[in-house]
């Protein structure tokens, strides 16, 4: 399941997500993960930062361990994945 489908299934309002850069650097992804207030779905602690394309541009999405698609329980580093491109540094 991709992130956009996950958000849609949970009825998350994409308009309330923070605008994101089109091509974020790893530093931006990491810094923003620290700023995310909680999982976009349930509000739990964010494990991963994602960027999704919306009608009004790319938006940041934070997801917890439960809602991060395909996440492994032993994963400790932020997962940097997204439809607009992944940046690993």
- Please, what is the minimum distance in Å from the beta carbon of residue 23 to Zn ion? 26
9 versus 22: smaller Cβ distance to Zn ion = 9
Other CB atoms within a 10 A radius of the CB of residue 71 amount to 16
Which span sits near Zn ion by CB under 5 A: 9-17, 34-42, 48-56, 80-88?
34-42
Q: What b/e readout covers 46-69, taking b as 16+ CB neighbours within 10 angstroms?
A: bbbbbbbebeeebbbbbbbeebbe
32 binds Zn ion (CB under 5 A): no
28 binds Zn ion (CB under 5 A): no
Binding site for Zn ion (CB under 5 A): 39, 41-42, 44, 64, 67
């Amino acid at each position: 399941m991709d992130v956009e489908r996950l958000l849609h299934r949970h009825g998350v309002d994409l308009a309330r997500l923070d605008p994101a850069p089109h091509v974020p650097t790893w530093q931006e992804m990491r810094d923003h993960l620290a700023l995310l207030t909680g999982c976009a779905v349930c509000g739990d602690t964010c494990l991963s930062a994602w960027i999704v394309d919306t009608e009004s541009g790319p938006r940041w999405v934070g997801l917890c361990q439960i809602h991060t698609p395909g996440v492994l329980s032993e994963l400790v580093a932020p997962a940097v994945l997204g439809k607009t491109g992944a940046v690993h540094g």
